[in-house]
Structure 1
Amino acid sequence: MKLSAPIFRLKRQAKLLARTERIQLAAALDRIARQEGYAAWSHLAHRQTANDPAQNILNALTPGDLVLLGARPGHGKTTLGLQLVLNAVSSGRTGCFFTLEMLNRDVLHTLRSLGADPDRVASSLVIDTSDDINADHIISIVRAAPSNALAVVDYLQLLDQKRSNPDLDTQVSALRNFARTSGQTIVLTSQIDRIFEAEGRSMPGLSDVRLPNPLDLSLFTKTCFLHEGEIEISKAA
Protein backbone atom coordinates (compact mmCIF):
# COMPACT_ATOMS: atom_id res chain seq x y z
CA MET A 1 0.00 0.00 0.00
CA LYS A 2 1.53 3.31 -1.12
CA LEU A 3 1.53 6.05 1.51
CA SER A 4 0.18 9.50 0.67
CA ALA A 5 3.45 11.03 1.88
CA PRO A 6 6.88 9.89 3.10
CA ILE A 7 7.05 8.60 6.69
CA PHE A 8 8.88 11.69 7.94
CA ARG A 9 6.09 13.94 6.63
CA LEU A 10 3.40 11.78 8.20
CA LYS A 11 5.20 12.12 11.53
CA ARG A 12 5.20 15.90 11.11
CA GLN A 13 1.47 15.80 10.40
CA ALA A 14 0.90 13.78 13.57
CA LYS A 15 2.93 16.20 15.70
CA LEU A 16 0.95 19.13 14.33
CA LEU A 17 -2.32 17.27 14.93
CA ALA A 18 -1.29 16.50 18.53
CA ARG A 19 -0.59 20.18 19.18
CA THR A 20 -3.66 21.63 17.49
CA GLU A 21 -6.12 19.12 18.97
CA ARG A 22 -4.29 18.73 22.29
CA ILE A 23 -4.15 14.96 22.11
CA GLN A 24 -1.32 12.57 22.86
CA LEU A 25 1.18 12.03 20.07
CA ALA A 26 0.45 8.29 20.08
CA ALA A 27 -3.23 8.99 19.41
CA ALA A 28 -2.34 11.42 16.64
CA LEU A 29 -0.02 8.88 15.04
CA ASP A 30 -2.74 6.23 15.12
CA ARG A 31 -5.20 8.65 13.49
CA ILE A 32 -2.76 9.41 10.69
CA ALA A 33 -2.16 5.67 10.26
CA ARG A 34 -5.91 5.02 9.91
CA GLN A 35 -6.11 7.72 7.24
CA GLU A 36 -3.40 5.78 5.40
CA GLY A 37 -5.38 2.54 5.62
CA TYR A 38 -3.65 0.94 8.61
CA ALA A 39 -5.24 -0.05 11.93
CA ALA A 40 -2.54 1.65 13.99
CA TRP A 41 0.78 3.46 13.64
CA SER A 42 2.63 0.31 14.68
CA HIS A 43 1.30 -1.43 11.56
CA LEU A 44 2.37 1.45 9.36
CA ALA A 45 5.81 1.54 11.03
CA HIS A 46 6.21 -2.18 10.33
CA ARG A 47 5.75 -1.39 6.66
CA GLN A 48 8.60 1.11 6.90
CA THR A 49 10.82 -1.46 8.56
CA ALA A 50 10.04 -4.03 5.90
CA ASN A 51 11.10 -1.56 3.22
CA ASP A 52 13.92 0.31 4.93
CA PRO A 53 15.32 2.78 2.36
CA ALA A 54 18.47 3.45 4.39
CA GLN A 55 19.27 -0.26 4.55
CA ASN A 56 18.58 -0.64 0.86
CA ILE A 57 21.11 2.11 0.17
CA LEU A 58 23.70 0.58 2.50
CA ASN A 59 23.26 -2.78 0.80
CA ALA A 60 24.08 -1.11 -2.53
CA LEU A 61 27.31 0.48 -1.31
CA THR A 62 30.77 -1.03 -1.29
CA PRO A 63 33.89 -0.05 0.68
CA GLY A 64 35.63 2.92 -0.92
CA ASP A 65 32.49 4.45 -2.44
CA LEU A 66 32.04 8.21 -2.63
CA VAL A 67 28.29 8.77 -2.85
CA LEU A 68 26.18 11.78 -3.73
CA LEU A 69 22.80 11.86 -1.96
CA GLY A 70 20.70 14.57 -3.58
CA ALA A 71 17.22 15.98 -3.02
CA ARG A 72 15.31 19.23 -2.95
CA PRO A 73 14.79 20.90 0.46
CA GLY A 74 12.17 19.22 2.61
CA HIS A 75 12.47 15.78 1.02
CA GLY A 76 14.40 14.22 3.91
CA LYS A 77 17.98 13.91 2.65
CA THR A 78 19.52 14.94 5.98
CA THR A 79 17.23 12.63 7.94
CA LEU A 80 18.05 9.82 5.51
CA GLY A 81 21.77 10.57 5.94
CA LEU A 82 21.43 10.22 9.70
CA GLN A 83 19.47 7.00 9.28
CA LEU A 84 22.29 5.66 7.11
CA VAL A 85 24.73 6.37 9.93
CA LEU A 86 22.46 4.73 12.51
CA ASN A 87 22.00 1.63 10.36
CA ALA A 88 25.76 1.38 9.92
CA VAL A 89 26.25 1.63 13.69
CA SER A 90 23.57 -1.00 14.35
CA SER A 91 25.45 -3.40 12.07
CA GLY A 92 28.66 -2.96 14.09
CA ARG A 93 30.32 -0.27 12.00
CA THR A 94 31.50 3.18 13.05
CA GLY A 95 29.35 6.06 11.83
CA CYS A 96 30.43 9.68 11.40
CA PHE A 97 28.05 12.56 10.75
CA PHE A 98 29.54 15.90 9.75
CA THR A 99 27.23 18.89 9.35
CA LEU A 100 27.76 22.54 8.55
CA GLU A 101 24.00 23.06 8.62
CA MET A 102 22.77 21.75 11.99
CA LEU A 103 23.65 22.45 15.60
CA ASN A 104 24.60 19.56 17.86
CA ARG A 105 21.27 19.75 19.69
CA ASP A 106 19.42 19.52 16.38
CA VAL A 107 21.34 16.39 15.40
CA LEU A 108 20.55 14.79 18.77
CA HIS A 109 16.88 15.71 18.41
CA THR A 110 16.73 14.10 14.97
CA LEU A 111 18.48 10.97 16.24
CA ARG A 112 15.87 10.63 18.98
CA SER A 113 13.05 11.17 16.47
CA LEU A 114 14.49 8.21 14.56
CA GLY A 115 14.24 6.08 17.69
CA ALA A 116 17.92 6.18 18.64
CA ASP A 117 19.36 6.84 22.09
CA PRO A 118 22.42 9.05 21.47
CA ASP A 119 24.03 7.89 24.71
CA ARG A 120 23.77 4.21 23.77
CA VAL A 121 25.37 4.67 20.35
CA ALA A 122 27.94 7.27 21.42
CA SER A 123 30.85 4.80 21.40
CA SER A 124 30.33 4.06 17.69
CA LEU A 125 29.00 7.41 16.51
CA VAL A 126 30.93 10.61 15.80
CA ILE A 127 28.90 13.80 15.50
CA ASP A 128 30.85 16.82 14.26
CA THR A 129 29.17 20.22 13.93
CA SER A 130 32.31 22.34 14.03
CA ASP A 131 33.02 25.25 11.69
CA ASP A 132 36.30 23.56 10.75
CA ILE A 133 34.65 20.94 8.55
CA ASN A 134 36.35 20.56 5.19
CA ALA A 135 37.89 17.62 3.33
CA ASP A 136 41.11 17.58 5.35
CA HIS A 137 39.17 17.71 8.62
CA ILE A 138 36.82 14.91 7.54
CA ILE A 139 39.72 12.74 6.40
CA SER A 140 41.58 13.21 9.69
CA ILE A 141 38.54 12.04 11.67
CA VAL A 142 37.53 9.13 9.44
CA ARG A 143 41.12 7.92 9.08
CA ALA A 144 41.17 7.35 12.86
CA ALA A 145 37.99 5.25 12.72
CA PRO A 146 38.02 1.46 12.38
CA SER A 147 37.91 0.04 8.86
CA ASN A 148 34.59 -0.01 7.00
CA ALA A 149 33.32 3.16 8.62
CA LEU A 150 30.52 5.17 7.05
CA ALA A 151 30.73 8.97 6.99
CA VAL A 152 27.90 11.31 5.97
CA VAL A 153 28.68 14.96 5.18
CA ASP A 154 25.82 17.46 5.24
CA TYR A 155 26.16 19.08 2.84
CA LEU A 156 28.28 19.33 -0.36
CA GLN A 157 27.66 22.97 -1.27
CA LEU A 158 28.85 24.24 2.13
CA LEU A 159 32.32 22.67 2.04
CA ASP A 160 33.98 25.67 0.44
CA GLN A 161 31.85 28.45 1.91
CA LYS A 162 34.85 29.62 3.96
CA ARG A 163 37.37 31.43 1.78
CA SER A 164 40.20 29.78 3.69
CA ASN A 165 39.06 26.33 2.47
CA PRO A 166 40.24 24.83 -0.83
CA ASP A 167 37.84 24.97 -3.77
CA LEU A 168 35.05 22.40 -3.95
CA ASP A 169 36.62 20.31 -6.72
CA THR A 170 39.91 20.01 -4.81
CA GLN A 171 38.11 18.91 -1.64
CA VAL A 172 35.90 16.32 -3.33
CA SER A 173 38.94 14.98 -5.21
CA ALA A 174 40.71 14.55 -1.87
CA LEU A 175 37.69 12.74 -0.41
CA ARG A 176 37.52 10.46 -3.48
CA ASN A 177 41.21 9.55 -3.21
CA PHE A 178 40.91 8.92 0.53
CA ALA A 179 37.82 6.73 0.16
CA ARG A 180 39.46 4.68 -2.58
CA THR A 181 42.73 4.12 -0.74
CA SER A 182 41.28 3.61 2.75
CA GLY A 183 38.16 1.60 1.90
CA GLN A 184 36.01 3.94 4.00
CA THR A 185 32.64 4.96 2.57
CA ILE A 186 31.71 8.63 2.34
CA VAL A 187 28.27 10.04 1.51
CA LEU A 188 27.77 13.72 0.71
CA THR A 189 24.25 15.14 0.79
CA SER A 190 23.58 17.69 -1.92
CA GLN A 191 21.13 20.37 -2.91
CA ILE A 192 19.22 20.00 -6.16
CA ASP A 193 18.54 23.02 -8.36
CA ARG A 194 14.97 24.32 -8.12
CA ILE A 195 14.55 24.18 -11.89
CA PHE A 196 14.14 20.41 -11.49
CA GLU A 197 10.71 20.88 -9.87
CA ALA A 198 9.69 23.44 -12.50
CA GLU A 199 10.32 20.86 -15.22
CA GLY A 200 7.99 18.36 -13.55
CA ARG A 201 10.28 15.33 -13.77
CA SER A 202 9.84 12.45 -11.33
CA MET A 203 13.46 12.15 -10.16
CA PRO A 204 16.51 14.46 -10.30
CA GLY A 205 19.84 13.44 -11.77
CA LEU A 206 23.44 14.62 -11.81
CA SER A 207 22.59 17.46 -14.18
CA ASP A 208 20.26 18.86 -11.48
CA VAL A 209 22.92 19.14 -8.75
CA ARG A 210 23.25 22.77 -7.71
CA LEU A 211 26.85 23.85 -8.33
CA PRO A 212 27.69 27.40 -7.27
CA ASN A 213 31.32 26.45 -7.90
CA PRO A 214 32.85 24.05 -10.46
CA LEU A 215 32.94 20.35 -9.56
CA ASP A 216 33.73 17.22 -11.55
CA LEU A 217 30.71 15.06 -10.71
CA SER A 218 32.43 11.99 -12.17
CA LEU A 219 34.38 11.85 -8.90
CA PHE A 220 31.35 10.16 -7.31
CA THR A 221 31.16 6.39 -7.65
CA LYS A 222 27.43 6.16 -6.89
CA THR A 223 24.45 8.49 -6.76
CA CYS A 224 21.28 8.34 -4.72
CA PHE A 225 18.43 10.70 -5.50
CA LEU A 226 15.36 11.21 -3.35
CA HIS A 227 12.03 12.77 -4.33
CA GLU A 228 8.54 12.44 -2.87
CA GLY A 229 9.53 9.39 -0.86
CA GLU A 230 10.96 7.54 -3.86
CA ILE A 231 14.68 6.67 -4.06
CA GLU A 232 16.86 5.91 -7.06
CA ILE A 233 20.34 4.44 -6.53
CA SER A 234 22.78 3.96 -9.37
CA LYS A 235 26.44 3.94 -10.31
CA ALA A 236 27.66 7.36 -11.38
CA ALA A 237 28.05 7.69 -15.13
Structure 2
Amino acid sequence: MALSAPIFMLKRKAKLMSRRDKMKLGDALDRVARAEGYNAWSHLAGSIGTDGRTQDLAQLARFVAGETVLIGARPGQGKTLFGLRLLIAAAKTGRTGAFFTLDYTQRDFDARLSRLGTNRDQLGPDFAFHDSDGINADYIIAALAEAGAGSIGVIDYLQLLDQRRDNPPLQDQIAALKAFARSSGVILVFISQIDRMFDDSGRTLPDLSDIRLPNHLDLQLFDKFVFLNAGETGFRDAA
Protein backbone atom coordinates (compact mmCIF):
# COMPACT_ATOMS: atom_id res chain seq x y z
CA MET A 1 0.00 0.00 0.00
CA ALA A 2 1.60 3.29 -1.13
CA LEU A 3 1.90 6.06 1.47
CA SER A 4 0.61 9.54 0.74
CA ALA A 5 3.97 11.01 1.85
CA PRO A 6 7.42 9.80 2.98
CA ILE A 7 7.39 8.36 6.49
CA PHE A 8 9.41 11.24 7.96
CA MET A 9 6.74 13.66 6.76
CA LEU A 10 4.01 11.50 8.27
CA LYS A 11 5.88 11.55 11.60
CA ARG A 12 6.11 15.34 11.39
CA LYS A 13 2.39 15.52 10.65
CA ALA A 14 1.66 13.42 13.74
CA LYS A 15 3.85 15.62 15.95
CA LEU A 16 2.04 18.75 14.76
CA MET A 17 -1.30 17.04 15.36
CA SER A 18 -0.17 16.02 18.86
CA ARG A 19 0.67 19.61 19.81
CA ARG A 20 -2.38 21.11 18.12
CA ASP A 21 -4.93 18.69 19.55
CA LYS A 22 -3.15 18.17 22.90
CA MET A 23 -3.04 14.40 22.45
CA LYS A 24 -0.34 11.81 23.09
CA LEU A 25 2.11 11.42 20.22
CA GLY A 26 1.39 7.70 20.03
CA ASP A 27 -2.31 8.40 19.53
CA ALA A 28 -1.53 10.97 16.85
CA LEU A 29 0.73 8.50 15.03
CA ASP A 30 -2.01 5.88 15.11
CA ARG A 31 -4.50 8.43 13.71
CA VAL A 32 -2.13 9.23 10.84
CA ALA A 33 -1.62 5.49 10.22
CA ARG A 34 -5.37 4.88 10.06
CA ALA A 35 -5.71 7.68 7.53
CA GLU A 36 -3.13 5.79 5.44
CA GLY A 37 -5.17 2.58 5.70
CA TYR A 38 -3.34 0.84 8.55
CA ASN A 39 -4.67 -0.27 11.94
CA ALA A 40 -1.83 1.34 13.89
CA TRP A 41 1.49 3.13 13.42
CA SER A 42 3.44 -0.06 14.18
CA HIS A 43 1.71 -1.78 11.25
CA LEU A 44 2.49 1.14 8.93
CA ALA A 45 6.14 1.18 10.01
CA GLY A 46 6.39 -2.58 9.52
CA SER A 47 5.12 -2.30 5.95
CA ILE A 48 7.98 -0.16 4.66
CA GLY A 49 9.70 -1.81 1.69
CA THR A 50 13.30 -1.70 0.52
CA ASP A 51 14.40 1.26 2.66
CA GLY A 52 12.95 -0.49 5.69
CA ARG A 53 14.82 -3.70 4.87
CA THR A 54 18.06 -1.73 4.60
CA GLN A 55 17.35 -0.19 8.00
CA ASP A 56 16.64 -3.64 9.47
CA LEU A 57 20.02 -4.90 8.29
CA ALA A 58 21.67 -1.86 9.85
CA GLN A 59 19.90 -2.51 13.15
CA LEU A 60 20.86 -6.17 13.10
CA ALA A 61 24.48 -5.11 12.61
CA ARG A 62 24.33 -3.32 16.00
CA PHE A 63 24.26 -6.70 17.75
CA VAL A 64 27.25 -9.00 17.94
CA ALA A 65 27.49 -12.74 18.49
CA GLY A 66 26.83 -13.81 22.06
CA GLU A 67 24.87 -10.76 23.18
CA THR A 68 21.62 -10.67 25.13
CA VAL A 69 19.27 -7.88 24.06
CA LEU A 70 16.05 -6.55 25.61
CA ILE A 71 13.43 -4.78 23.48
CA GLY A 72 10.97 -2.82 25.59
CA ALA A 73 7.80 -0.96 24.61
CA ARG A 74 4.19 -0.46 25.57
CA PRO A 75 1.53 -2.46 23.66
CA GLY A 76 1.08 -1.45 20.04
CA GLN A 77 4.45 0.29 19.71
CA GLY A 78 6.05 -2.36 17.48
CA LYS A 79 8.31 -4.37 19.79
CA THR A 80 7.27 -7.74 18.36
CA LEU A 81 7.51 -6.41 14.80
CA PHE A 82 11.02 -5.16 15.63
CA GLY A 83 11.98 -8.68 16.71
CA LEU A 84 10.44 -10.20 13.60
CA ARG A 85 12.30 -7.76 11.35
CA LEU A 86 15.55 -8.83 13.01
CA LEU A 87 14.72 -12.44 12.11
CA ILE A 88 13.93 -11.44 8.52
CA ALA A 89 17.20 -9.52 8.26
CA ALA A 90 19.08 -12.48 9.74
CA ALA A 91 17.55 -14.81 7.13
CA LYS A 92 18.69 -12.46 4.36
CA THR A 93 22.26 -12.78 5.61
CA GLY A 94 22.07 -16.58 5.83
CA ARG A 95 21.74 -16.83 9.60
CA THR A 96 19.60 -19.30 11.53
CA GLY A 97 16.63 -17.84 13.40
CA ALA A 98 14.08 -19.02 15.94
CA PHE A 99 11.01 -17.43 17.49
CA PHE A 100 9.88 -18.60 20.93
CA THR A 101 6.46 -17.45 22.07
CA LEU A 102 4.21 -18.05 25.04
CA ASP A 103 1.73 -15.52 23.67
CA TYR A 104 1.23 -15.93 19.90
CA THR A 105 -0.42 -18.75 18.01
CA GLN A 106 0.97 -19.91 14.68
CA ARG A 107 -1.85 -18.01 12.97
CA ASP A 108 -0.91 -14.80 14.85
CA PHE A 109 2.72 -15.26 13.88
CA ASP A 110 1.96 -15.85 10.21
CA ALA A 111 -0.35 -12.80 10.16
CA ARG A 112 2.45 -10.63 11.53
CA LEU A 113 4.88 -11.92 8.92
CA SER A 114 2.31 -11.22 6.21
CA ARG A 115 2.08 -7.59 7.34
CA LEU A 116 5.84 -7.43 6.84
CA GLY A 117 5.52 -8.78 3.31
CA THR A 118 7.03 -12.20 3.96
CA ASN A 119 6.21 -15.68 5.24
CA ARG A 120 7.81 -18.50 7.15
CA ASP A 121 9.26 -20.15 4.04
CA GLN A 122 11.25 -17.01 3.29
CA LEU A 123 12.87 -17.17 6.74
CA GLY A 124 14.94 -20.08 5.50
CA PRO A 125 14.98 -23.86 5.96
CA ASP A 126 16.61 -23.63 9.39
CA PHE A 127 14.08 -21.21 10.89
CA ALA A 128 12.00 -22.63 13.75
CA PHE A 129 8.79 -21.43 15.38
CA HIS A 130 8.17 -22.57 18.96
CA ASP A 131 4.90 -22.06 20.84
CA SER A 132 5.14 -24.83 23.44
CA ASP A 133 3.73 -24.15 26.92
CA GLY A 134 6.98 -25.63 28.19
CA ILE A 135 9.20 -22.81 26.89
CA ASN A 136 11.77 -21.81 29.50
CA ALA A 137 15.54 -21.38 29.62
CA ASP A 138 16.28 -25.11 29.33
CA TYR A 139 13.88 -25.45 26.38
CA ILE A 140 15.46 -22.49 24.54
CA ILE A 141 19.01 -23.72 25.14
CA ALA A 142 18.13 -27.21 23.87
CA ALA A 143 16.39 -25.80 20.77
CA LEU A 144 19.39 -23.62 19.87
CA ALA A 145 22.12 -26.07 20.87
CA GLU A 146 23.16 -26.67 17.24
CA ALA A 147 22.73 -23.09 16.04
CA GLY A 148 25.89 -21.37 14.95
CA ALA A 149 27.40 -18.15 16.23
CA GLY A 150 25.42 -15.13 15.08
CA SER A 151 22.12 -17.02 14.97
CA ILE A 152 19.13 -15.16 16.40
CA GLY A 153 16.65 -16.35 19.00
CA VAL A 154 13.72 -14.03 19.75
CA ILE A 155 11.79 -14.70 22.98
CA ASP A 156 8.23 -13.34 23.19
CA TYR A 157 8.18 -12.35 25.91
CA LEU A 158 10.44 -11.97 28.96
CA GLN A 159 7.80 -11.79 31.69
CA LEU A 160 6.03 -14.97 30.56
CA LEU A 161 9.15 -17.00 31.38
CA ASP A 162 8.30 -16.13 34.99
CA GLN A 163 4.67 -17.23 34.79
CA ARG A 164 4.80 -20.95 35.61
CA ARG A 165 5.53 -21.90 39.22
CA ASP A 166 7.42 -25.02 38.17
CA ASN A 167 9.95 -22.93 36.21
CA PRO A 168 13.14 -21.73 37.90
CA PRO A 169 13.17 -18.09 39.07
CA LEU A 170 13.47 -15.59 36.21
CA GLN A 171 16.89 -14.46 37.49
CA ASP A 172 18.22 -18.02 37.21
CA GLN A 173 16.72 -18.53 33.74
CA ILE A 174 18.18 -15.34 32.29
CA ALA A 175 21.56 -16.04 33.89
CA ALA A 176 21.57 -19.49 32.24
CA LEU A 177 20.54 -18.00 28.89
CA LYS A 178 23.24 -15.34 29.11
CA ALA A 179 25.87 -18.00 29.80
CA PHE A 180 24.57 -20.00 26.83
CA ALA A 181 24.66 -16.94 24.55
CA ARG A 182 28.25 -16.20 25.54
CA SER A 183 29.44 -19.76 25.00
CA SER A 184 27.54 -20.42 21.76
CA GLY A 185 27.66 -17.00 20.08
CA VAL A 186 23.86 -17.03 19.63
CA ILE A 187 22.20 -13.61 19.95
CA LEU A 188 19.19 -13.78 22.28
CA VAL A 189 16.56 -11.05 21.95
CA PHE A 190 13.94 -10.72 24.71
CA ILE A 191 10.74 -8.78 24.06
CA SER A 192 9.65 -7.05 27.25
CA GLN A 193 6.61 -5.34 28.71
CA ILE A 194 6.90 -1.76 29.92
CA ASP A 195 4.95 -0.53 32.95
CA ARG A 196 1.79 1.38 32.08
CA MET A 197 2.90 4.25 34.34
CA PHE A 198 5.26 5.27 31.52
CA ASP A 199 2.26 6.54 29.53
CA ASP A 200 1.84 9.39 32.03
CA SER A 201 5.55 10.10 32.49
CA GLY A 202 5.86 12.73 29.75
CA ARG A 203 9.10 11.11 28.56
CA THR A 204 9.77 10.33 24.90
CA LEU A 205 11.15 6.81 25.46
CA PRO A 206 11.03 4.28 28.30
CA ASP A 207 14.16 3.40 30.23
CA LEU A 208 15.36 0.65 32.57
CA SER A 209 13.14 1.85 35.40
CA ASP A 210 10.03 1.21 33.26
CA ILE A 211 10.67 -2.50 32.60
CA ARG A 212 7.89 -4.50 34.25
CA LEU A 213 9.43 -7.01 36.66
CA PRO A 214 7.07 -8.82 39.05
CA ASN A 215 10.11 -10.65 40.53
CA HIS A 216 13.79 -9.82 40.89
CA LEU A 217 15.95 -9.68 37.76
CA ASP A 218 19.40 -8.15 37.48
CA LEU A 219 19.21 -6.08 34.29
CA GLN A 220 22.99 -6.22 34.01
CA LEU A 221 22.41 -9.67 32.51
CA PHE A 222 21.50 -7.85 29.26
CA ASP A 223 24.18 -6.39 27.02
CA LYS A 224 21.95 -4.00 25.07
CA PHE A 225 18.53 -2.40 25.35
CA VAL A 226 16.19 -1.13 22.64
CA PHE A 227 13.25 1.07 23.65
CA LEU A 228 10.41 1.96 21.29
CA ASN A 229 7.67 4.55 21.56
CA ALA A 230 5.58 6.64 19.19
CA GLY A 231 7.72 5.84 16.15
CA GLU A 232 11.01 6.55 17.93
CA THR A 233 13.74 3.98 18.65
CA GLY A 234 16.45 4.31 21.29
CA PHE A 235 19.47 2.03 21.69
CA ARG A 236 21.63 1.83 24.79
CA ASP A 237 24.37 -0.44 26.08
CA ALA A 238 24.34 -1.87 29.59
CA ALA A 239 26.02 0.45 32.07
Q: Is the 8 A contact 2:227 2:235 kept in 1?
A: yes
1:1-237 correspondence to structure 2 within 5 Å = 1-4=8-11, 10=33, 14-15=37-38, 45=49, 47-49=51-53, 52=55, 54-237=56-239
Query: Following the alignment from structure 2 to structure 1, what is the Cα–Cα distance between the partners of residues 65 and 51?
Result: 29
Report SS of the residue matched to 1:14.
Answer: coil
Report SS of the residue matched to 1:124.
Answer: coil
Query: Following the alignment from structure 1 to structure 2, what is the Cα–Cα distance between the partners of residues 170 and 89?
Result: 30
Report SS of the residue matched to 1:131.
Answer: coil
CA displacement at 1:63 relative to structure 2: 0.5
Gaps of 5+ in 2: 1-7, 15-28
Query: Following the alignment from structure 1 to structure 2, what is the Cα–Cα distance between the partners of residues 57 and 47?
Result: 12
CA displacement at 1:117 relative to structure 2: 2.7
CA displacement at 1:47 relative to structure 2: 5.0
Equivalent AA in structure 1 for residue 181 of structure 2? A
Aligned to 1:37: none
Query: Following the alignment from structure 2 to structure 1, what is the Cα–Cα distance between the partners of residues 58 and 134?
Result: 32
Query: Following the alignment from structure 1 to structure 2, what is the Cα–Cα distance between the partners of residues 120 and 217?
Result: 34
CA displacement at 1:45 relative to structure 2: 4.3
Q: Is the 8 A contact 2:70 2:224 kept in 1?
A: yes
Q: Is the 8 A contact 1:64 1:181 kept in 2?
A: yes
Equivalent AA in structure 1 for residue 33 of structure 2? L
Consecutive aligned runs of 4 or more in structure 1 exceeding 2 Å deviation: 1-7, 9-13, 44-50, 54-57, 119-122
Report SS of the residue matched to 1:88.
Answer: helix
Aligned to 2:25: none
Q: Is the 8 A contact 1:57 1:233 kept in 2?
A: no
Distance 1:56 1:232, change over 3 A: farther
Distance 1:218 1:207, change over 3 A: same
Report SS of the residue matched to 1:3.
Answer: helix
**Could you state the TM-score of these two structures normalised by the residue count of structure 2?**
0.80
**Could you state the TM-score of these two structures normalised by the residue count of structure 1?**
0.81
Q: Is the 8 A contact 2:102 2:157 kept in 1?
A: yes
Gaps of 5+ in 1: 17-31, 33-41
Q: Aligned residue pairs: how many?
A: 209
